[in-house]
Structure 1
Amino acid sequence: MAETTWLDATAQADLVRRGEVSPKELVAAAIAAIEAVNPRLDAVIRTRFDAARQEAEGDLPDGPFRGVPILYKDLGCMVAGEPTAFGVGPLRAMAWPVTSYLAEQFRAAGFIPLGRTNVPELGTTVTTEPRSFPAARNPWNPGHSTGGSSGGSAAAVAAGLVPVAHANDGGGSIRIPASECGLVGLKPTRGRVSQGPLVGEAWAGGVIDGAVTRTVRDAAGVLDVISKRMPGEPYYAPPLPRPLAQEAGADPGRLRIGVLDRPGAEGFLDDPQCRAAVASTARLLESLGHHVDQSAPAAIFEQEFIGHFNTIIAADAEATFQAFEMLLGRPISEDEIEPRNAEYRRAGQALKAVPYLESRMWLGMWARRMADWWRDHDLLLTPTLGAPPPELGWFTAAGPQQEGERIISFIPYTAQFNMTGQPAISLPLHTTPEGLPVGVQLAAAYGREDLLIRVASQLEEAAPWSGRHPPVHA
């Protein structure tokens, strides 16, 4: 493949700016990589190569990522006239009537979209094995999961097909695949990125858009270009003091970092490789001058959380399916969707307004209990997940009744920060003896992506990961 394949988006854009490579050449290299590698991964499920080639030769916006190829997740980030299926089979050919603000901002930044990446149906699970599309496979070991719901995006970036890809996160869906595919996954603060014009908030404000990247500076730079404040939002994230790109490499000072290396409740996975990832990262942070202690919010494993979180998902799932049915002009039957989502639909249909609002009230009070811990700490360090990437099929192997339990068991640490709205980042700082990536998560106080980027770039410099390439790669 071309020498540009493994450069990050910042470096590719710099080459274009200096005239050393053209957008046409970057797009051609990315298309060649997708055509060569994707048949082994099924990370990309829909392409727009001809349109991308034309755009690369045209008058591109002079944004900071002018000419850099990107992939959009097949869930959100809609473009008028182009299909976005959300992993739902009946929607596979349905073109959307409007373009999302997010897609407009990617375009304004100069990115050139090449297609759509694989997702689980409606994004309601943590592996990318949809009923209506082929399973996405992990480039570190194709027999294992990529994570989800941004699993196709993560596999594509990890394999060198594109330098960055769109992702979004409602319970960990940026951080989970970043951990499983060896990438940087930054979940922004609630309200930092608009979901308009069609959506005000999803999953009670738990869903936020972003990207999966290979480098911290790309994570910062991409969030800078997609976080434009749009009129009429239900709320806005606190303004950052300066562009996040300027925080990469900045001195974070001596921080107070709490460490949580295992679940504090029954029913969650607790793999020793995940604990080892946290232990080595804690030692590294101490060596960099930070104060590290065993501490975490007392509320993080409160038993009621999962029930209230699932109430929010069920209500949103049914509302979303009803919107899909309106666009399709017909009902979507249970035998067209996965058992998990059929159950969410039934629960959403049975849900009354008062219990739904009670769940939102409980989560609001719980978020205050969570936030109190950050009075005395700057960051919380945890494993990103409860275990390394499982084999494909593991989540459904015990049948539909156990699928939900296995999903919950796998994510002890991620969904909490969707419901508090806090920013969190997964970093690829550990590898199992079998060669599978294991990420660690850092969570900051509300609105403090700047602190995450400073510390993440400090860790990246101390323990570089960008030179590691998976066995299946461009």
Structure 2
Amino acid sequence: MGVLSQPWGGHRTTTPVADALSHTARLLESLGHQVEEVEVDLGADWEQFVLAAARRWAANLTASVDELAAAFDRPVDSSTLEPPSLAGYHYGQRVTGARFVTTLEIRNRVARSLARHFGTHEVLLTPTVPELPPLLGTHAAGSETLDGVGWLRRLFDHSPFTAAFDVAGRPAMPVTVPVTADAETGRRDSRPVRSSPPDTGSKAAPSALPDNSNRHAPGRAGPPRYRPGSAPPAVPGAAHSVRLTQRRSA
């Protein structure tokens, strides 16, 4: 099982989220899984990836909106669409056929690059998102000034792990695990950790850590191989989300 702790694009996983991921990795190892930290090549430059995703998303959005507008005889403007959707619609109108074909090629490169990881690991464990939950309204703040690319870049910056695997079409699931309170705000995170597991049906990590989570796995000598740092004890009732991405069966 591979553990990817840091996202693509130069973003950094915050300490509470990294602690939740570390707890989960230790628990999985205590249950007998072989767990190791890995690096996974995205297959494209981050800005190239964002631009390609924005073009593909916006072009599809434009086609869908035009179809619905025609079917229901509705205008396509601020009276029917929120600012992010309207910005995406207008951006999609400018995406040429040639650029759309290029976006598909980049998507395929990303999908193939992520798939190579599963030649050596059954499951990839990552945070669902690299930071604590944002306040309501964070994503929409100032959205009226963003174009289609700017809006998607904002979403991808907040959820780089999710964006990559959603674009690649990898099967994945979020699993809730314990996490400590945020040192600055005292907030407790209640999001799940996301992982991508194989379609062969391996079990997801439990949602709570046992008191002996740092003990060696049964039948294995020596300390666990996964040691990204000593994780603090879990706070009862607090949770975060990890994402499991699984290898597809043949």
Kindly tell me: are residues 409 and 319 of structure 1, through their superposed partners in 2, closer, same or farther at Cα, counting changes over 3 Å? same
- Give secondary structure in 2 for the equivalent of 1:355: helix
Q: Report the alpha carbon displacement of residue 316 of structure 1 after superposing the two structures with TM.
A: 1.1
The Cα offsets for residues 425-470 of structure 1, whole Å up to 9 and x where unpaired, read as 101103441233132111134xx1x43xx321x535866xxx9699
How many angstroms apart in 2 are the aligned matches of 1:405 and 1:269?
A: 16
* Contact persistence 1:315–1:351 (CA under 8 A): yes
| 2:191 aligned residue | 438
Within a 5 Å distance, the mapping from 1:37-436 to structure 2 comes to: 257-266=1-10, 268=11, 270-299=13-42, 302-303=45-46, 304-399=48-143, 400-401=145-146, 404-433=152-181, 434-436=187-189
Kindly tell me: are residues 408 and 365 of structure 1, through their superposed partners in 2, closer, same or farther at Cα, counting changes over 3 Å? closer
Q: TM-score w.r.t. structure 1 length?
A: 0.40
How many residue pairs get matched?
A: 204
How many angstroms apart in 1 are the aligned matches of 2:175 and 2:77?
A: 40
Counterpart code for 1:291: Q
Q: What is the CA RMSD across the aligned residues, in angstroms?
A: 2.5
Kindly tell me: are residues 292 and 358 of structure 1, through their superposed partners in 2, closer, same or farther at Cα, counting changes over 3 Å? same
Kindly tell me: are residues 338 and 309 of structure 1, through their superposed partners in 2, closer, same or farther at Cα, counting changes over 3 Å? same
How many angstroms apart in 2 are the aligned matches of 1:314 and 1:259?
A: 32
- Give secondary structure in 2 for the equivalent of 1:381: strand
How many angstroms apart in 2 are the aligned matches of 1:281 and 1:469?
A: 14
Return the structure number with greater relative CO, CA threshold 8 A, min gap 6.
2
Runs of 4+ with deviation above 6 angstroms: none
* Contact persistence 2:2–2:125 (CA under 8 A): yes
How many angstroms apart in 2 are the aligned matches of 1:357 and 1:301?
A: 16
Counterpart code for 2:192: G
5+ long unaligned stretches in structure 2 = 182-186, 211-235, 240-250
The Cα offsets for residues 223-263 of structure 1, whole Å up to 9 and x where unpaired, read as xxxxxxxxxxxxxxxxxxxxxxxxxxxxxxxxxx1111122
Q: Report the alpha carbon displacement of residue 363 of structure 1 after superposing the two structures with TM.
A: 1.2
Counterpart code for 1:374: F
Q: Report the alpha carbon displacement of residue 270 of structure 1 after superposing the two structures with TM.
A: 2.6
How many angstroms apart in 1 are the aligned matches of 2:142 and 2:30?
A: 44
How many angstroms apart in 1 are the aligned matches of 2:165 and 2:113?
A: 13
- Give secondary structure in 2 for the equivalent of 1:331: coil
Counterpart code for 1:441: R
Kindly tell me: are residues 320 and 383 of structure 1, through their superposed partners in 2, closer, same or farther at Cα, counting changes over 3 Å? same
Q: Report the alpha carbon displacement of residue 336 of structure 1 after superposing the two structures with TM.
A: 3.1
Kindly tell me: are residues 275 and 462 of structure 1, through their superposed partners in 2, closer, same or farther at Cα, counting changes over 3 Å? closer
Matched, 1:459 2:206: yes
- Give secondary structure in 2 for the equivalent of 1:455: coil
The Cα offsets for residues 338-396 of structure 1, whole Å up to 9 and x where unpaired, read as 22111111111111111101111221133112211110011111110021211112223
Kindly tell me: are residues 416 and 349 of structure 1, through their superposed partners in 2, closer, same or farther at Cα, counting changes over 3 Å? same
- Give secondary structure in 1 for the equivalent of 2:35: strand
How many angstroms apart in 1 are the aligned matches of 2:170 and 2:208?
A: 25
Kindly tell me: are residues 363 and 406 of structure 1, through their superposed partners in 2, closer, same or farther at Cα, counting changes over 3 Å? closer
How many angstroms apart in 2 are the aligned matches of 1:272 and 1:342?
A: 36
How many angstroms apart in 1 are the aligned matches of 2:43 and 2:128?
A: 14
How many angstroms apart in 2 are the aligned matches of 1:432 and 1:337?
A: 39
Counterpart code for 1:320: S
The Cα offsets for residues 4-56 of structure 1, whole Å up to 9 and x where unpaired, read as xxxxxxxxxxxxxxxxxxxxxxxxxxxxxxxxxxxxxxxxxxxxxxxxxxxxx
5+ long unaligned stretches in structure 1 = 1-256
How many angstroms apart in 2 are the aligned matches of 1:343 and 1:307?
A: 15
Kindly tell me: are residues 295 and 322 of structure 1, through their superposed partners in 2, closer, same or farther at Cα, counting changes over 3 Å? same
Q: TM-score w.r.t. structure 2 length?
A: 0.73
Kindly tell me: are residues 462 and 383 of structure 1, through their superposed partners in 2, closer, same or farther at Cα, counting changes over 3 Å? same
* Contact persistence 2:127–2:194 (CA under 8 A): yes
Counterpart code for 2:57: I
Q: Report the alpha carbon displacement of residue 403 of structure 1 after superposing the two structures with TM.
A: 5.1
* Contact persistence 2:5–2:126 (CA under 8 A): yes
How many angstroms apart in 1 are the aligned matches of 2:137 and 2:9?
A: 25
